[in-house]
Chain A
Amino acid sequence: EVQLVESGGGLVQPGGSLRLSCTTSGFIFNGHWMFWVRQGPGKGLVWVSRINSDGSETRYADSVKGRFTISRDNAKNTLYLQMNSLTAADTAVYYCARGGPYSNNPWDYWGQGTLVTVSS
Chain B
Amino acid sequence: DFQMTQSPSSLSASVGDRVTITCRASQDISNYLAWFQQKPGRAPKLLIYAASTLQGGVPSRFRGSGSGTDFSLTISSLQPEDFASYYCQQYNGYPPTFGQGTKVEVK
Chain A: residues with CB nearer than 8 A to chain B?
A: 35, 37, 44-47, 50, 59, 61, 95, 99, 104-113
Contacts and interface: CB of A to CB of B under 8 A. Distances in A.
A107 B94 contact: no
Contact of B46 (A46, A108, A111): A108
B43 A59 contact: no
Given A106-B34, A106-B49, 8 more contacts: A45-B38, A59-B94, A95-B44, A108-B55, A110-B43, A110-B45, A111-B43, A113-B43
Contacts of A109: 46
A105 to B, nearest CB: 7
B19 interface: no
A115 to B, nearest CB: 11
Contacts of B101: 44-45
B89 interface: yes
Contacts of B5: none
Interface of B: 32, 34, 36, 38, 42-46, 49-50, 55, 87, 89, 91-92, 94-101
The secondary structure that dominates the B interface is: loop
B100 to A, nearest CB: 5
A107 B34 contact: yes
Contacts of A107: 34, 46, 89, 91
Contacts of A108: 46, 49, 55
Contacts of A105: 91
A104 B92 contact: yes
B46 A45 contact: no
A84 to B, nearest CB: 20
A40 to B, nearest CB: 12
